[in-house]
Structure 1
Amino acid sequence: MPTRNTHTYDVIVIGAGPVGENVADRTTAAGLSTVLVESELAGGECSYWACEPSKALLRPVLLRADAAHVPGLAAAVAKPLDVDAVLAHRDRLSADWKDDGQIEWIKSAGIDFLRGHGRLAGEREVSVSTPDGDTVRLRARHAVAVCTGSAAALPPLPGMAELRPWTSREATSAQRPPHRLVVVGGGVVGVEMATAWQALGSRVTLLAREGTLLPKLEPFAGELVTERLREAGADVRFDVSVVAARRVGNGAGEIRVTLSDGEVLTADEILFATGRTPRSQDIGLDTVGLRPGDWLATDDSLTVTAVPGDWLYAVGDVNRRALFTHQGKYQARVAGAVIAARARGERLETGRWAPHSSTADIEAVPGVVFTDPEIAFVGLTAREAERTGRDVEVVDYDIGRLAGAVQYRPGYRGRARILINRDRQVVVGATFAGPGVAELLYSATVAITGEVPVERLWHAVPAFPTISEVWLRLLETRRDS
């Protein structure tokens, strides 16, 4: 295999998803020569197989659910969704799985791009196997940032290769709805894809190993999602797992799924939404003393703690701090600032509010589950507070009692909860469940991150009639309790 001469850059970034792109953008803007290495599509998982296509599938579903409850619109949306139009819209938002636009942006930002599989090859060294069979050697003067993300984790069932199951990638890029779809996993990916494909015409069976959907969130979130999925026609089952699955007809036909309770289901496709694993198996970790396939632990500067010399960074999913695109991009901004400061020989400004410390990926991580109803959450849950010994006051409110909620959707069903630290009198957790609640999330994140005193929140006046008035009602409920 021919090897080209070594090329030297200030910074090498392995992985050109949103995280890697943001690291490269920051270091380039700081005057550091930077190269992005990508083995698949520039733009990464989020652009082609996760955030963008999944929300393109879900947006028509959620809009239709809202419209079906609004007087004057119900009849207009009584027909099934136009599946071809929804999938074509998904394809457009996924750029038809071509990265020409991303490559154009990378070049316009002054970043070099190299397509190929990048592997660490020692301290500040990266070897890239290109599609044409060449090997390109890269050397970094200052930093190498690993931004390779995560991949779907599959259970250790026999015959997985012959089964050809869906992961999140196939679930967001499928070109037609399967007639019968079994979804394994009651987390975010499982409930979102069950919501989407049930509305697009599949007969969905959702299997949850635990006794609730969305088990990491407040219990009422999973209860409301379960209720709506069942109303939509999905078969939702709890406390059950898959012990075997196989395709019949020489591996080309339907799937037989054997459950832990002995029942056998028949499906056309099966989606395993059972967690994530780091994409670090084949990136040369052994050449720097790390174990291939591991998550990469970092400090708050995103520097890999097990490698000396402050040159190796792990940013985004691969460090397991917070597996969200928006959190990875936040980390990328911090990592870019750290790399630039160290390259200039500056002393890092560290601490909770410093640009060189990644803390918001630990203390106040916001997330949205785009189901019907939507679930928005940030900070602690009541269960987490109890487990960690935090003294909190739990305040609940029925969002459906708000005038703004009734305007949004007659018969609105939803719930809000905030957790207030008794000693400091600040909000430390918030969960909202109901149609349209995603837009409440930033205000909750600001309240938690900024440690706004509860007494000061009284003076943040919500407009009437909007769902944001729930903040006022939560504070009134607390005062009157």
Structure 2
Amino acid sequence: MESQAEAPDQQSSAGQVYDLIVIGGGAVGENAADRAVQGGLSVVIVEAELVGGECSYWACMPSKALLRSAQALRAAHGVSGAAQAVTGELDVDAVLSRRDSFTSGWKDEGQVSWLEGAGIELLRGHARITGPRQVSVTSADGGVQTLTARHAVAIASGSAAAIPPVTGLHESHPWTSREATSAQQVPGRLAIIGGGVVAVEMATAYASLGSEVTLLARSGLLGGMEPFAGELVGESLQAQGVSLRLNTSPVSVARTREGVRLETSAGDALHVDEALAATGRTPRTGDLGLESIGLESGSWIPTDDTMRVPGFDWLYALGDVTHRALLTHQGKYQARAAGDVIVARARGAQIDDAPWGAHVATADHAAVPQVTFTDPEVATVGLTAAEAREAGYEIRVVDRELGDVAGAALYADGYSGRARMIVDEQRRVILGMTFLGPDVAELLHAATIAVSAEVPLDRLWHAVPAYPTISEVWLRLLEAYGRPARTGT
């Protein structure tokens, strides 16, 4: 296919000119740039930190590396024969070293090399939008370059940890997810503020690494998921030695010579070595020049399903900054759609933004998969029962115990877990699935296909699960729901 894009202009009254300028060189920005380059466009990524972004260095990869070693050890202890053979303790230094290997020691040479091989230019510095299709880039030495986009600017700057407005918390320099995933030493005592995914994953990780962990949650755990998920994860955390304080919040925090002191809403004080704020995310849009084009600085950026910002024919937003689904895989999905859209529009094509169109991102409305890598794991996709009812669906909730499935009993002695299926009774399709148990993450993609493709239950009877595997729970769920209607005579 012959490219219809021009190479970037090296000298221009408007500075360097590219077909597409991507602000943010994380996984989302990389994917959008790659799709556009494959479509024949010239692309530059502007990145102020490490190419590869949050997921590569401070989120997905290092956090799961911290969790995996203890998970493997517990799995071995759960199978007789292996349990007798595994007599040592977790090697904390080896865990941290393995984690470091996944971040390449917080160096991005490998990621930069990938950009070069993909034909994507990189400009290091801080980007600010200064007008329609115009971006200024300030380098570390203070130099400023001006870039112009022929077709599009895509904002993929991500999000940062939000620090809640607790007296003294910001001044005490708490850990956020960045410090928790990159720490070179394990604190003896760690307080975690929050009850979401980051909070429970880091509680799991640091309890296994030897910290005395106290988790303070304003309400329950894993709000927004099925209630049993938070309840059972909480029981597991307590079994791992975590002090779980639900319905409790810090009211003031101070860093002292001895560590960190937290006054709580229960009227007592907690003394720890470090405090981790894990209470949500905030968009990294506060210094991007959004006000120069009439958008609110520091705000989330709304988009249509082609990821274009309403009111602009040249501006796109991808990933966390859209607040659609703050997950790396969903951001990459959005980026692939946007990259294709930008190429198509650059060639004058009319894009169908209706659901299921070829160039739209619709899966992040009601078919978002997510895994919480606690022990047990929680794997979810689609709507919860409460969300489905609120949306007006007539539903049926089907629950099964995973431990009753033959494959689960073989997988681990005393395997315990749960599966929940939310069925739209009018259409007899699955609206949501939740799995809880050891290694249920690997069950999730089948559920994601069923939800996103709206596969009728009558068809799912013909998707036969292999025996003896944990996937046999699909058969048990269908049996609990009821056999398909018979047709004919």
Range class of TM-score, shorter chain: over 0.9
**Which of the numbers 192, 195, 201 marks the counterpart of 1:192?**
201
Alpha carbons 2:76, 2:82 under 8 Å: kept: yes
* Residue 148 of structure 2, aligned match among 136, 139, 148: 139
Shift in Å, 1:479: 1.4
Q: Could you tell me which residue of structure 1 aligns to residue 48 of structure 2?
A: 39
Distance in 2, matches of 1:157 and 1:344, equals 51
Kept in 1, the 8 Å contact 2:192–2:277? The answer is: yes
Deviation, 1:390, is 1.4
Contact 1:27–1:34 (CA<8 Å) still a contact in 2? yes
The CA deviation at 1:78 is 4.2
In the alignment, the residues of structure 2 paired with residue 74 and residue 54 of structure 1 have an alpha-carbon distance, to the nearest angstrom, of 26
Alignment of 1:234-383 (within 5 A): 234-249=242-257, 253-305=258-310, 307-308=311-312, 310-383=313-386
1:214 match: secondary structure: coil
Instruction: Tell me which residue corresponds to 2:240.
Output: 232
Residue of structure 2 equivalent to 1:170: 179
Moved more, 463-472 or 353-362: 353-362
Q: For 1:154 and 1:76, how far apart are their aligned partners in 2? A: 45
Give the distance between the partners of 1:77 and 1:292, measured in 2 at CA: 54
Q: Distance in 1 between matches of 2:337 and 2:358?
A: 6
Q: CA deviation at 1:349?
A: 2.8
Question: In the alignment, does 2:414 pair up with 1:411?
Answer: yes
What's 1:56 paired with?
A: 65
The answer for the alignment partner of 2:5 in structure 1 is: none
1:14: which partner in 2?
23
In the superposition, the TM-score normalised over structure 1's length comes to 0.96
Match of 2:105, SS state, is helix
How far apart are the structure 1 equivalents of 2:388 and 2:142? 53
SS at match of 1:175: coil
Q: Which letter does structure 2 place at the counterpart of 1:419?
A: I
Name the residue aligned to 1:69: 78
- 1:161 Cα deviation after fit: 4.6
Give 1:388 shift.
2.1
The Cα shift of 1:51 comes to: 0.2
Counterpart mapping for 1:98-109 below 5 A: 98-109=107-118
Specify which of 30, 33, 53 is matched with residue 24 of structure 1: 33
Amino acid at match of 1:224: L
- In 2, the alpha carbon distance for the partners of 1:50 and 1:293 equals 22
For structure 1, list consecutive stretches of 5 or more residues without a partner in the other structure: none
C-alpha separation between the residues in 1 aligned to 2:418 and 2:463? 21
Alpha-carbon distance between aligned partners in 2 of 1:363 and 1:381, rounded to the nearest angstrom:
10
Q: Aligned partners of 1:50 and 1:427: how far apart in 2? A: 31
- Counterpart residue number, 1:155: 164
- Distance in 1 of aligned mates of 2:270 and 2:229: 27
**Conservation of the 8 A alpha-carbon contact between 1:372 and 1:435:** yes
User: What is the SS of the residue equivalent to 2:148?
Assistant: strand
Give me the TM-score of the superposition, normalised by structure 2. 0.95
Q: Aligned letter for 1:165?
A: P
Shift of 1:40: 0.2
**For 2:224 and 2:70, how far apart are their aligned partners in 1?**
24
Match of 1:222 in 2: 230
In structure 1, which of residues 393, 397, 400 is the aligned counterpart of residue 400 of structure 2?
397
Per-residue deviation at 1:68? Answer: 1.1
Partner SS for 2:131 = coil
Judge conservation of contact 1:421–1:428 (CA < 8 Å) in 2: yes
Letter in 1 for 2:246: F
Q: CA RMSD in A?
A: 1.4
Structure 1 CA distance, aligned partners of 2:416 and 2:27?
35
The size of the alignment, in residue pairs, is 473
Q: For residue 256 of structure 1, what is the amino acid of its counterpart? A: R
Matched AA of 1:441: L
- Residues 244-283 of structure 1: CA deviation (Å, up to 9, x unaligned): 010113xxx3111011111100100000100000000000
**Partner of residue 429, structure 2:** 426
- Return the offset for 1:347: 1.0
Shift of 1:350: 2.8
Measure the CA separation in 1 of the matches of 2:249 and 2:166: 12
What is the CA–CA distance in structure 2 between the aligned matches of 1:246 and 1:264, rounded to whole Å? 11
User: Which SS does the other structure have where 1:74 is aligned?
Assistant: helix
State percent identity of aligned pairs: 57
Query: How many angstroms does 1:159 deviate by?
Result: 3.1
User: What is the CA distance between 1:480 and its match in structure 2?
Assistant: 7.7
Q: Deviations over 1:374-394 (max 9, x none)?
A: 000000101111222211110
Alpha-carbon distance, 1:76 to partner: 3.7
Note if contact 1:68-1:78 (Cα within 8 Å) is conserved in structure 2. Answer: no
Contact 1:337 1:355 in 2 (8 A): no
CA contact (8 A) 1:184 1:273 kept: yes
Corresponding position: 1:213 with 2:216:
no
Secondary structure of 2:374's counterpart equals coil
**Match of 1:121, SS?**
strand
Q: Is the 8 A contact 2:351 2:359 kept in 1?
A: yes
Preserved contact between residue 68 and residue 74 of structure 1 (Cα < 8 Å): yes
Per-residue deviation, residues 87-117 of structure 1 (Å, max 9, x unmatched): 0000000110000000000011011100000
